[in-house]
């Protein structure tokens, strides 16, 4: 599976689209808002840039794409007024994999600018230039020392590829579980290590001196990668749904055995270790927060929390499932998944854990791309 060609959220504005099922991700951005404001305040007051380059990595599409950008620009405008400085010009760089629904983003730019200028007043705000940047963030995306601020939310837990050598060793599972052999855990962690290292090295090259990042990643509290918490439990339940379809003869066992999620849900200590090992960034602040699964949907959308969680996960997982198993099993797979979710949510405390980090580029970082 070529992840960069397959991995994307469900497109458009339909019932199963990411645009209509991304309240959980918006909640994560809102939780990170104080840290984003802290980072922007330090950056802006120390550098007073005339041109502020902001990159959002893993921007997806829908209402969340411009949610954090709006927050940042509004806050910078407030700072510039307080400091009696002219508004900077804004360069907004929206990145995701090539299969992302960039067409929807481009169509929404005029509306975004109109609403932003009306809210802040067009005669005061600096020009805002917006570009789409397709490509993997596990490598270079921007020119050297061209960025001031990097934001990424709910994206870095996605790996650049499914770890090699696990297809025949993780039978019946689609991610790490307590029944997964140690070699599967090792393969997932080593892929995570490689990817995070490349991400950090690439951003160190692209950020200006004193440039900073605020990253929110779906994580876990436990040091055990197979612990039944956060998205780890979600994937186990979806694997159970797929195993049910194998039992019913709707998919072949070999199909399930060869399907693994290109994802790693790290702990806070694992993230910190990789940042310190790579050495390009100072960790200013780290926070771990929790969000109940029911935040996947609003209360007035549907009475069933399981219904909302299933829709949220379908918006994320459907392209991967569709590519591997075909269209015929999609509805049944997510119907069974919803039933399993309902049973679990009635018995257990179900939460997602977010790890948010505020990092600043070290003044004398050494980056090697050998």
In a domain, 368, yes or no: no
CATH number of the domain that residue 99 is part of: 3.40.50.150
In a domain, 59, yes or no: yes
- pLDDT for the residue numbered 368: 42
Above 80 in pLDDT, residue 66?
A: yes
Q: How many residues does the chain have?
A: 370
In a domain, 366, yes or no: no
Cα(121)–Cα(144) distance, integer angstroms? 33
Cα(183)–Cα(226) distance, integer angstroms? 13
In a domain, 57, yes or no: yes
pTM higher than 0.75? yes
Among 33-47, 72-86, 227-241, which stretch is predicted with the lowest mean pLDDT? Answer: 227-241
pLDDT single digits (tens) 3-27: 655 565 545 455 555 555 556 677 7
In a domain, 131, yes or no: yes
pLDDT single digits (tens) 209-249: 989 999 999 898 888 887 777 678 888 888 899 988 888 88
Cα(55)–Cα(142) distance, integer angstroms? 9
In a domain, 96, yes or no: yes
Task: Give the range of the structural domain holding residue 57, as residue numbers without chain letter.
Answer: 3-361
Phi-psi group of 166: left, alpha or beta (phi > 0 → left; psi -120 to 50 → alpha; rest → beta): alpha
Number of domains observed in the structure of the chain: 1
In a domain, 23, yes or no: yes
Cβ within 8 Å of residue 215, ≥6 positions away: 150, 151, 152, 153, 156, 356, 357, 359
Quote the DSSP letter at residue 192. Answer: H
In a domain, 367, yes or no: no
Query: Which string of DSSP letters, residue by residue, matches 69-104?
Result: HHHHHHHHHHHHHHTT-PPPEEEEEEEE-TTS-HHH
Instruction: Compute, in degrees rounded to 10, the torsion defined by CA atoms 212, 217, 221, 227.
Output: -150
- pLDDT for the residue numbered 120: 79
Count CA atoms closer than 13 A to 339's CA, side-chain side: 9
């Amino acid at each position: 599976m070529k992840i960069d060609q397959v991995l994307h959220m469900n497109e458009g504005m339909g019932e199963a689209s990411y645009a209509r099922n991304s309240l959980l991700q918006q909640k994560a951005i809102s939780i990170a808002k104080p840290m984003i404001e802290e980072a922007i305040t330090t950056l802006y007051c120390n550098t007073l840039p005339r041109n502020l380059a902001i990159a959002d990595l893993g921007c997806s599409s829908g209402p969340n794409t411009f949610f954090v950008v709006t927050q940042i620009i509004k806050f910078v405008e407030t700072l510039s007024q307080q400091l009696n400085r002219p508004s900077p010009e804004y360069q907004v760089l929206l990145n995701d994999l090539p299969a992302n629904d960039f067409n929807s983003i481009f169509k929404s730019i005029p509306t975004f600018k109109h609403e932003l200028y009306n809210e802040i007043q067009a005669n005061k705000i600096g020009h805002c230039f917006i570009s789409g940047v397709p490509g993997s963030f596990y490598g270079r995306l921007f020119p050297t020392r061209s960025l001031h601020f990097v934001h990424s939310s709910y994206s870095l837990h996605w790996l650049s590829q499914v770890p090699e050598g696990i297809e025949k060793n993780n039978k019946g599972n689609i991610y790490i579980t307590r029944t997964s052999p140690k070699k599967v855990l090792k393969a997932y962690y080593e892929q995570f290590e490689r990817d995070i290292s490349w991400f950090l090295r690439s951003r160190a090259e692209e950020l200006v001196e004193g440039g900073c990042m605020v990253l929110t990643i779906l994580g876990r509290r436990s040091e055990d990668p197979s612990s039944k918490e956060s998205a780890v439990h979600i994937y186990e339940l979806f694997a159970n749904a797929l195993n049910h379809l194998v039992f019913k003869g709707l998919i072949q066992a070999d199909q399930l055995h060869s399907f693994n999620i290109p994802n790693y849900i790290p702990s806070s200590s694992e993230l910190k270790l990789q940042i310190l090992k790579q050495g390009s960034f100072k960790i200013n602040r780290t926070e771990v927060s929790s969000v109940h699964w029911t935040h996947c949907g609003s209360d007035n959308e549907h009475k069933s929390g399981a219904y909302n969680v299933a829709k949220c996960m379908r918006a994320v997982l459907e392209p991967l499932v569709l590519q591997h198993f075909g269209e015929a099993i999609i509805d049944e797979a997510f119907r069974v998944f919803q039933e399993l979710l309902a049973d679990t949510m009635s018995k257990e405390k179900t939460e997602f854990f977010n790890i948010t980090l505020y990092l600043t580029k070290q003044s004398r970082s050494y980056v090697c791309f050998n």
